[in-house]
A and B are shown apart, each in its own frame.
Chain A
Amino acid sequence: MDDLLREFLTETHESLDRVDAELVRFEQEPNNGDILGNIFRLVHTIKGTCGFLGLPRLGTLAHAAESLMGKFRDGAPVTTEAVTLVLSTIDRIKTILDEIEANQSEPAGDDGDLIEQLHRLMEHAAVRPRPAARVEAPAKPQPAPPAREEAKPPPAARDKPAAERTEDERGERRAGHSIRVHVDTLDQLMTTVSELVLTRNQLLEIVRRHDDSDFKIPLQRLSSVTAELQEGVMKTRMQPIGNAWQKLPRIVRDLSAELGKHIELEMHGAETELDRQVLELVKDPLTHLVRNCADHGLETSAERLAAGKMQKGTIRLSACHRGGHIIIEIADDGRGLDLERIRAKAIEHGFASEAEIAEKSEAEICNLIFVPGFSTASRVTSISGRGVGMDVVRANMEEIGGTVDLKSVTGGGTTFTIKIPLTLAIVSALIVEAGGERFAIPQLSVLELVRASAGGEHRIERIKDTPVLRLRNKLLPLVQLKETLQLGVSEGDDGFVVVTQVGSQVFGVVVDGVFHTEEIVIKPMSSKLRHIAAFSGTTILGDGAVIMIIDPNGVAQTLGRATPVAQAIKTELDASEDAFHEDLTPLLVFRAGSPQPKAVLLSLVSRLEEIDCRRIEVSDGHHLVQYRDQLMPLLRIDSQTGIKQDGAQPILVFSDHGRSMGLVVDEIVDIVEQRLDIEVASERPGVLGYAVVKGSATEIIDIGYFLPQAYADWFRRRDVLSVPLTRRILLVDDSAFFRDMLAPLIKAAGYQVVAVASAAQALAAVKSGARIDIVVTDVEMPDMDGFELAVALRENPGTAAIPIIALSAMVSAETIERGRVVGFHDFVAKFDRTGLIAAIKEQSDDLHQAA
């Protein structure tokens, strides 16, 4: 295509979008000269350029529109009829532009109809001598400001305005420093950065295998630079969601005219940014939902008045960021969903039997509207009955890893909540193994990891043939990944349960092993594999292998197949929803050595045993026992704990990767479930601290201290995930966004996280005696920055030894040097999540070696 023509089309499309959004406002405030001026300029530019580019049809139409707009600009009153006509003209211009874009030439056709109407209106639109009110209107604001100034004189700001204004002006001029870049260039850049991330991951993988590599330091630097670059490129792809909303005011305006309803569209958070690829994909579903609200959601004016509501109905659109997701809400204050009609329709069309319907909760009934082929409108209107159904909306959202939820209050309105990831290109994923193959599960949908073993605290149970897991107060439906993917039958009930959330549904995915988390670059799946619902894409791992990315939505579908039981479980889940969020920790209380009770986290204990004392052997000063065909070392908590000479000796067995260790105790007292607040930290090795358990002060035992005594290499063989809940990380960041993003990430890697918003809070937390193993702090913070926090921690002998990992958006040689002086143990770029987990793991390992 001709460069000139392309430029013309791009620019015209942009101005059209802008004008579209303003036109509606224009109708409400016909006196607004700015808007009028914009529309006039648009048609004027089109007219001028058309002559130059040889587009006579477009030129003639634009000319007629320009003449009418000229009249309005000169003060002719704007009628509703005129607005509608101008809108149709702009629509026609768009149609012609689209054809030009497609065929690179002007389509044949005649716009006589519009032109004639434009001329007719123009003749009638006599420019009246400006009425007094009209002249006064612009004059009014002038006397107003002094009055306002008198009312509340801004004392300190008095001398500021001049400085501010120049600042503003400079800012405006700076805004001019933008260039137009073709989207393909950005996409290409993103692809290249994705490759760079992969290569970086490969290098990290290699260095991880060689402990004392010279590459470590430069690689760390490369890693942070890569992360910065990745973030920068992602930023260039970010666009405000308002871009996807631009057409909506116009659509709502047209709809309210067509349906005879008074509708107001409120938009909040239009500046919320998201990846342009995601933006493109949400545009149509959003439009559909808004149409739906206008058409089905809102009542007619008469109905509203009869119901005692304001005549004007409101559709409220809002967007905000929440922990790596963007949340979009589309709410109306209309009649809400007609549950009776949905029920009737579902039965009529055979989506469910009467008995099934009777059992469904209101929320489930509401969700029926997302079932393919379901439409509640009794007649197909031209507005929302255009073949795009709610099922398509949901499918589109799920395709990009998002969810749609819906809440309806009869007579009060309907709210759709859409939750989508900020970007699709690079995500953090958990690498798991099932049936000998590796898979990636996007971290965004992972809530937590649970180790399940036959003798352990969490065990896989079965209701009929449906596997479930008891997790705290909940019953979690399970999906055996191996079986779902037809990679074999799961024998035995040992494995890891990846607790996953899709929409409001929580379920566990059972896998054979869990490796680590990795930033993966999502590559689209081959068209030959796209039909497989269980996968959402492919990726290349750090070691070069290609693996499939699990689609939690697709896996969740297999739950649906095992209905009645799954349904029953779901109901139970819903009922215990509240309990789920309470942070109860099961503890095993026992006595050993002293009368004071001791406790360990039950999740760490794999078995409670009583062994015959005669079977205990002593070899080289170590106590051993034959246990399940292996020699298991027995350890004592302290020298006071005696090993019985005869009878049965109770022991706690801790197992991992086929190896076990026994901890000798005097007696097992109880299993309790409660909030674990370690109130007093302990200096004694092997004791985490003290907590009140069932009314008595109890020592909380640190199993992490005993395991290496049994096998020196215990921790080296294990991945971070196998040291759950033993290390406590204090995360300091003034940005709620980063706290929300990083805290779950660190948790998912198997650590406890305490997140605070300032250095002062961090110091308070540390001084309160709460056990903190590692501090992860932002460098740039108001009041007291990361450097100052480090100095403060170092000054206090009690906290001087805590390793500090600094997070910074900018890692320069100077900051690293300054960090070294104040005592940062490690420096990680803020977006380098892999680097952060690696750094935490390293510090954590060092702590173990020191212990």
Chain B
Amino acid sequence: MQDDTDFTEFVTFTIAGQMFGLPIARVQDVFKPARITRVPLAGAEIAGVLNLRGRIVTAIDMRHRLEVKRREAGDALMAIGIEAKGESFGLLVDAVGEVLKLPEADREPNPINLDRKLAALSAGVYRLEGQLLVALDIDRVLDLRAEAAAAA
């Protein structure tokens, strides 16, 4: 029997057709976002704030974060709840898929020609049957300010 630590369980989701994964240990919950209050003067990645069972969740628009095409009205919308440093975040994605248990050994480094924006947020790539899964580094995804500073 293989040791469990050699595997990572990923919550998978899609953004603009691409499959992504986040380690299940970092995911608090998955929910359908409702009544997002937009926040004036906030960065473009911030979709707004919402009330999830009494908690205030900051919603981050992953399409903006990854700089892929804008969401249009009527597009499917789901949110992945993350707790980080005592705060709640919701990553807005298109759809949430199944949980996959993937061996650590299969994780490959980013291809060198990977989109710069995506490479900055990726912790590696898994080759699945028929498609690729990009494992996201959640801390880097949430580090909005470093990006902005680097861009400046």
Q: Which residues of A contact B (CB under 8 A)?
A: 195, 198, 435, 437, 485-487, 523, 526-529, 532, 534-535, 538, 540, 544-548
Q: Which A residues lie within 8 Å of B19 (CB)?
A: none
Q: A485 to B35, alpha carbons, bound, how many Å?
A: 20
CB distance from A340 to the nearest CB of B (A): 40
Q: Which B residues lie within 8 Å of A198 (CB)?
A: 54
B56→A546 contact, CB < 8 A = yes
Q: A324 to B16, alpha carbons, bound, how many Å?
A: 52
CB distance from A434 to the nearest CB of B (A): 9
Kindly report which residue of chain A lies nearest to residue B85, judged by CB atoms: A527
CB distance from B139 to the nearest CB of A (A): 13
Given contacts A540-B54, A546-B56, contact A528 B46 (CB under 8 A): yes
CB distance from A551 to the nearest CB of B (A): 12
CB distance from A221 to the nearest CB of B (A): 23
Q: Which of B37, B40, B42, B50 contacts A528 (CB 8 A)?
A: B42
Q: Mark B38-71, 1 if CB is under 8 A from A, else 0.
A: 1111110010011100101010100000000000
Q: List 25 A-B contacts (CB under 8 A).
A: A195-B54, A198-B54, A435-B40, A437-B38, A437-B40, A485-B40, A485-B41, A526-B49, A526-B58, A528-B46, A528-B142, A529-B42, A532-B41, A532-B42, A534-B40, A540-B51, A540-B54, A545-B35, A545-B51, A546-B49, A546-B56, A547-B37, A548-B39, A548-B40, A548-B49
A544→B43 contact, CB < 8 A = no
B56→A540 contact, CB < 8 A = yes
B41→A544 contact, CB < 8 A = no
Q: A141 to B38, alpha carbons, bound, how many Å?
A: 72
Q: A528 to B49, alpha carbons, bound, how many Å?
A: 11
Q: A485 to B37, alpha carbons, bound, how many Å?
A: 14
Q: Which B residues lie within 8 Å of A547 (CB)?
A: 37
Kindly report which residue of chain B lies nearest to residue A533, judged by CB atoms: B41
Q: Which B residues lie within 8 Å of A535 (CB)?
A: 39
Given contacts A526-B87, A540-B56, contact A486 B144 (CB under 8 A): no
Q: Which A residues lie within 8 Å of B49 (CB)?
A: 526, 529, 538, 546, 548
Q: Which of B38, B41, B60, B87 contacts A527 (CB 8 A)?
A: B87
A528→B58 contact, CB < 8 A = yes
A544→B51 contact, CB < 8 A = yes
Kindly report which residue of chain B lies nearest to residue A544, judged by CB atoms: B51
Q: A532 to B142, alpha carbons, bound, how many Å?
A: 18
Given contacts A544-B35, A545-B35, contact A529 B40 (CB under 8 A): no
Q: Which A residues lie within 8 Å of B41 (CB)?
A: 485-486, 532, 534
B56→A523 contact, CB < 8 A = yes
CB distance from A193 to the nearest CB of B (A): 13
Task: Please give me the 4 A-B residue pairs with the lowest Cβ-Cβ distance, nearest first.
Answer: A485-B40, A526-B58, A546-B49, A546-B37
Q: A540 to B56, alpha carbons, bound, how many Å?
A: 8
Q: A544 to B49, alpha carbons, bound, how many Å?
A: 12
CB distance from A199 to the nearest CB of B (A): 9
Kindly report which residue of chain B lies nearest to residue A531, judged by CB atoms: B145
Kindly report which residue of chain B lies nearest to residue A485, judged by CB atoms: B40
Q: A435 to B39, alpha carbons, bound, how many Å?
A: 12
Of residues 113 to 152 in B, which have CB atoms within 8 Å of A's CB atoms? Answer: 142, 144-145
Kindly report which residue of chain B lies nearest to residue A541, judged by CB atoms: B51
Q: A545 to B87, alpha carbons, bound, how many Å?
A: 18
Q: A474 to B133, alpha carbons, bound, how many Å?
A: 65
Q: Which of the listed residues A485, A538, A546 has the most CB atoms from chain B within 10 Å of its own CB?
A: A546
Kindly report which residue of chain B lies nearest to residue A438, judged by CB atoms: B37
B51→A546 contact, CB < 8 A = yes
Q: Which B residues lie within 8 Å of A532 (CB)?
A: 39-42
Q: Which A residues lie within 8 Å of B42 (CB)?
A: 528-529, 532
Kindly report which residue of chain A lies nearest to residue B41, judged by CB atoms: A532
Q: Which A residues lie within 8 Å of B51 (CB)?
A: 540, 544-546
A548→B144 contact, CB < 8 A = no
Q: A550 to B144, alpha carbons, bound, how many Å?
A: 23
CB distance from B51 to the nearest CB of A (A): 5
CB distance from B12 to the nearest CB of A (A): 25
Q: Which B residues lie within 8 Å of A546 (CB)?
A: 35, 37, 49-51, 56
Q: A395 to B89, alpha carbons, bound, how many Å?
A: 28
Q: A762 to B91, alpha carbons, bound, how many Å?
A: 59
Kindly report which residue of chain A lies nearest to residue B49, judged by CB atoms: A546
B87→A548 contact, CB < 8 A = no
Q: A528 to B60, alpha carbons, bound, how many Å?
A: 10
CB distance from B54 to the nearest CB of A (A): 6
Kindly report which residue of chain A lies nearest to residue B42, judged by CB atoms: A529
Q: Which A residues lie within 8 Å of B87 (CB)?
A: 526-527
CB distance from A511 to the nearest CB of B (A): 13
Kindly report which residue of chain B lies nearest to residue A540, judged by CB atoms: B51
Q: Which A residues lie within 8 Å of B37 (CB)?
A: 437, 545-548
Q: Which B residues lie within 8 Å of A527 (CB)?
A: 85, 87
Known contacts A545-B35, A546-B37, A546-B56; 20 further A-B pairs (Cβ under 8 A): A195-B54, A437-B38, A485-B41, A486-B40, A486-B41, A487-B40, A523-B56, A526-B49, A526-B87, A528-B144, A529-B42, A529-B49, A532-B41, A534-B41, A535-B39, A540-B51, A540-B54, A545-B51, A546-B49, A546-B50
Kindly report which residue of chain B lies nearest to residue A539, judged by CB atoms: B56
A529→B58 contact, CB < 8 A = yes
Q: Which of A195, A486, A534, A538 contacts B56 (CB 8 A)?
A: A538
Q: A527 to B39, alpha carbons, bound, how many Å?
A: 13
Q: A487 to B39, alpha carbons, bound, how many Å?
A: 10
Kindly report which residue of chain B lies nearest to residue A547, judged by CB atoms: B37
Q: A526 to B54, alpha carbons, bound, how many Å?
A: 15
Given contacts A545-B35, A546-B49, contact A528 B56 (CB under 8 A): no
CB distance from A717 to the nearest CB of B (A): 25
Q: A752 to B39, alpha carbons, bound, how many Å?
A: 36
Q: Which B residues lie within 8 Å of A540 (CB)?
A: 51, 54, 56
CB distance from B33 to the nearest CB of A (A): 12
Q: Which B residues lie within 8 Å of A435 (CB)?
A: 40
Q: A778 to B145, alpha carbons, bound, how many Å?
A: 53
Q: Which A residues lie within 8 Å of B39 (CB)?
A: 529, 532, 535, 548
Q: A580 to B52, alpha carbons, bound, how many Å?
A: 45
Of residues 75 to 115 in B, which have CB atoms within 8 Å of A's CB atoms? Answer: 85, 87, 89
Q: A548 to B36, alpha carbons, bound, how many Å?
A: 12
CB distance from B59 to the nearest CB of A (A): 10
CB distance from B138 to the nearest CB of A (A): 14
Q: A546 to B56, alpha carbons, bound, how many Å?
A: 7
